Amino acid sequence: MDGGAFLKRQKVKADPRQRERFPDDEFLTINYFNVGEWVRINSIEFFLYDCDVFTRDFLTMLGVDVPGPIQPPDDAFAASKKLKSTCGGGTITHDYSAEERERTAKFLQDNGKLLRFYGLLEDRREGETESAVRKLEVLLYVEDSTIAVVERQNSAEANPAMFFSRNWLPKSGSVAKANELTFSHRVNGQRAPDMGPEGHYTETDLSVGEIINVMGRPVFLYDCDDFTRNFYRERYGYEQPEAEDVSQFFKPSAKEQSLAEAKMASRRAIAQSHPPKKNFLESTNEVLRFRLKLANPTDNNQAMRRFVLSYYTDTEEGMVHEVALPNLGFPAGLLLKRGVLPKPEQKMTVRQATLSSAHDNQQIIQEVNRYKEEDIAIGSELVLAGMPMKVVGMDAHTEARMLGRPAALPSDATVDRLLTALLDFTWSRYGTAVKTFLAMDADRDGVVGIDEFTRAVKQFQITDDPIVAHILFERIASIPDTAFLTTEDVMKWMGGEKSGGTRRTKAETVLGKTGDDQKEQIRIRALRQKPYCVLRSG
């Protein structure tokens, strides 16, 4: 069954059979929702067997007795599957042979389990004194013991490619018979069913420090991932050896070092070629972004509202968006469309506003007493959309423009701050590393190039400087010289401890570090809520 939104946010009329308890409630209110109750929504009954901590504390503050968690009712489909497995029915029956039953049981148990070993292949061609080391990944699918070998890029000249397609890997393979892979049901000249259980590699044959035969080429397995180590420990009680030291094979060559030095020298030359800005008003056609809040909030919810002002220097116009924050009740989105920002002492007429939005009469636009770039700074107060607002921050690009700094290489602290901002944005916007990678991969070629990454960070409002974007790219990429990011790079970057630590620090800042402080903050927030419903009597 497909997941997703069952019902969009809207008022739902109460079922006539349920209105006998609350005759005055035409729509479903908070009175209908409690642990252990049945709620009928659009002719479908839902049983509420538990709730989260915030909901439980909120209802308790309102005087509602919330029972403890209840065991959910048994699912009919799950019960039927359990009945078939106990009585011998379903997929595994006596109609199948012992080999087929074993293969089916192995598939059901190990479907989706992938063992990953890291290997090296020394490729020495005829007439060459030096050999090239190729970095491989041996992937074993536990469900059917098939193996795929993928070549990873470990130098600027190497290209990632499929070294051996997923199939059974024979132990006696040779390069001479590699052409026979094209025949149906044949692997290296042998029919797959005729190999036998000992004719191809399985999970019991692979280990760190071993050398396996991949079509006549010896591949040295020097390491494996954490899942593979846990798999062997839990399944066979075998502890994989520690990773072998292969750093000598990955030392950059003289050519690679010269390329890296030339790239850094070119980058410094580009940075030094931009003269310092004598006046920050001289450059045009830029977008400056400021963070705003209400200057005179009436309550705590108003004080938590945040806005973003985008100011266009070429036309001296602005646009205001409200940032979405949970549990506030204010709709996020466009608050003030792009146009001239008039000061409160002089309001534009309808005719002037129409001409300014259409760019038909620059004279009228210049006559309007409007906010200009020099009027917007941290701490200044503006009146936008009839609401007094205060500027509380700006992005890195706007800060650099205001300070008149020349284009130069950013410091490590600035790079770390931008990486943290990019990480927080991708987690809050997309939630997973896969969705983040797909958002950056514009041409859907399976990799994110430096141009795609530069456009992505500009779209995410992290930085508009291509040099800074290039530095961020090199910090995320596992091999910076490849000029592209893979899914694995994004997953490693987003799955590190830094992301969890950032979110945990923000949560502790809002709710406190101890459990008592967090409960007190939840109680205070619950008392500030304004319930628009009829409370249950008694």
Do 404 and 278 contact (CB within 8 A), yes or no?
yes
- Domains of the chain listed by start with CATH number: 8-82 (2.30.29.170), 108-249 (2.30.29.170), 287-344+368-403 (2.30.29.170), 412-509 (1.10.238)
Low-confidence ranges of the chain (pLDDT < 70): 1-3, 76, 80-81, 83-96, 124-131, 153-160, 173-197, 250-256, 259, 263, 266-284, 326-328, 345-368, 403-409, 478-483, 496-538
Close Cβ partners of 264 (under 8 Å, ≥ 6 residues apart)? none
pLDDT in tens, 109-131: 888 888 999 998 877 655 555 66
User: Tell me, what's the pLDDT at 121?
Assistant: 85
Q: Long-range contacts: 200-203, Cβ < 8 Å, 24+?
A: 200/145, 200/168, 200/169, 200/170, 200/171, 201/140, 201/145, 201/147, 201/168, 201/169, 201/171, 202/140, 202/145, 203/115, 203/140, 203/142, 203/145, 203/231, 203/232
Determine if the pTM surpasses 0.85. no
pLDDT (0 to 100) of residue 180: 47
Q: Show the tokens assigned to 145.
A: 């013991």
pLDDT at 303: 83
pLDDT value at residue 508: 54
pLDDT of residue 350: 45
pLDDT at 500: 45
Q: At a CB cut-off of 8 Å and minimum separation 6, what does 71 contact?
A: 49
| pLDDT tens digits for range 3-37 | 678 888 888 888 887 777 888 888 888 888 999 88
User: What's the CA gap between 216 and 219, in Å, rounded?
Assistant: 9
- Tokens describing residue 401: 């423009």
SS3 of residue 401 by DSSP: helix
Work out whether the CA dihedral 87, 93, 99, 103 comes out positive or negative.
negative
Tell me how far apart the alpha carbons of residues 296 and 189 are, in angstroms, rounded to a whole number.
81
